Structure 1
Amino acid sequence: MPARRIPSWAWVTGLTAGAVAAVGFLAVEASHGAHPRAVPRAAAPAPARPSAEPSPPAPPAVPAASGTGRRIVYSLGAHRVWLVDASDTARRTFTVWPGSVSPDPGTYAVSRRLDATTGSDGVRIEHILYFTAKSGVYIAFSNAVDGASPPPAAPGTRTGGIRLHKADGTALWTFGTAGTRVVVVR
């Protein structure tokens, strides 16, 4: 008697039924095992920290040679400004980008305030506080309206703008009213 051939549809049906039965069995087995649980973020344990985590460095102290009382202190060497209140406490300090013409060390006063204009480098600037001039170049603090750092000055270009980050420019604008002392130190 010749072997009888099983039709292909029977094979496919049998294999499919077997696969479904196997998946069902595995699902039942999985339901009896441990289940992961979501832990609320507030209850999650904090990651372990090293016991001696370095603290951020303290901001540089106001230069001793800058006098006393309410003032703006500008350090030529550190490219840094301090806003110092009447009790000689630095309320804010930040770095700046100096222009190509620097003021001489000494004491000045904010002589003019200008909301906004275009700087000599073609950049829109705001919060301009003029405090001196040197060799025909006005020297002032300002920040770019878009918050960008100033482009490098072209060789031979004379600029007196001392540029600040946008947030620092806003703080200086609020602090530096007309007549506020500006002390420039080395």
Structure 2
Amino acid sequence: MARSSGGSAGVVVAGLTAVALAVIAFFAFQASAAQDKAGKPSASQPSSPSPGASGTKKKPSKDEKALPAKSGKGIRVVYALERRRVWLVDKSEKVTRTFKVVPSTVSPPPGAYKVTSRSSHVTGSDGVPIENVVRFANVQGVTIGFSAAVDGSMPKPDGSRKTGGIREKREDGEALWLLATNGTKVVVVR
């Protein structure tokens, strides 16, 4: 009898292992199919999470993620006001990263700027501790720059105050910080 139950247990374990492997293979297939549909994952794709299966968020289209035409040449940061999106472009004209941002209440007019100063950690004009601050313009006495809140938040700015912080996620802020040293071109497009 002991021999018989030992054999049944082995069959059960083998069956469970086969089911587990089938589930893993299914998920691997789904992930592969999703990558094929969206293109190979790379640093040029946004770092923000993909929308969930619930469909509550709209997935950005390829056109929305495409680098705007006439956005300059060479190493640069491109900021599209209407799309609320930033692109980091390397010296070979390759987009190394693109991501959504939350604009400030004061926006720079379209044009070419240069990074004028940077700060690793400061307090923003809205009183929020921020990091990886990259400043590039001054509009109506308000300094405009990219930054990430240390707590990771990206709230909509208070429209009653003039602020110049264009907020990004922390990992996006770090990538921008590494590319945009003093003097780096920042191109603002509509």
TM-score range, shorter chain: 0.7 to 0.9
Of 34, 44, 66, 2:21 maps to 44
The residue aligned with 1:83 is: 88
- Superimposed CA distance per residue, residues 158-182 of structure 1 (whole angstroms, 9 cap, x where no aligned partner): 1110011000001111110000000
The residue aligned with 2:70 is: 65
CA 1:83 to 1:123, structure 2 compared with 1: closer, same or farther past 3 Å? same
Q: CA deviation at 1:141?
A: 0.5
Of 147, 172, 175, 1:168 maps to 172
Alignment of 1:57-136 (within 5 A): 58=62, 60-136=65-141
Letter in 2 for 1:37: V
Letter in 1 for 2:160: G
**2: CA distance, partners of 1:32 / 1:96:** 60
**2: CA distance, partners of 1:32 / 1:60:** 58
CA 1:74 to 1:155, structure 2 compared with 1: closer, same or farther past 3 Å? closer
**2: CA distance, partners of 1:116 / 1:33:** 64
Residue 47 of structure 1 aligns to a residue whose secondary structure is: helix
Per the normalisation by structure 1, the TM-score is: 0.74
Unaligned stretches of 5+ in structure 1? 1-26
The residue aligned with 2:5 is: 31
Per the normalisation by structure 2, the TM-score is: 0.73
CA 1:119 to 1:31, structure 2 compared with 1: closer, same or farther past 3 Å? same
Identity across matched positions, percent: 46
**2: CA distance, partners of 1:155 / 1:140:** 17
Superposition RMSD in Å:
2.7
CA 1:33 to 1:72, structure 2 compared with 1: closer, same or farther past 3 Å? closer
Which structure shows the bigger proportion of residues in helix conformation?
Answer: 2
**1: CA distance, partners of 2:178 / 2:159:** 34
Q: Determine whether 1:185 maps to 2:189.
A: yes
**2: CA distance, partners of 1:32 / 1:140:** 68
Compare CA radii of gyration and give the structure with the larger one: 1
Unaligned stretches of 5+ in structure 2? 39-60
Letter in 2 for 1:173: W
- Superimposed CA distance per residue, residues 3-31 of structure 1 (whole angstroms, 9 cap, x where no aligned partner): xxxxxxxxxxxxxxxxxxxxxxxx88x83
- Superimposed CA distance per residue, residues 123-172 of structure 1 (whole angstroms, 9 cap, x where no aligned partner): 1001111101111111010000111113x333421111001100000111
CA 1:32 to 1:173, structure 2 compared with 1: closer, same or farther past 3 Å? closer
Residue 122 of structure 1 aligns to a residue whose secondary structure is: coil
- Whether the 8 Å contact between 2:105 and 2:159 is mirrored in structure 1 is no
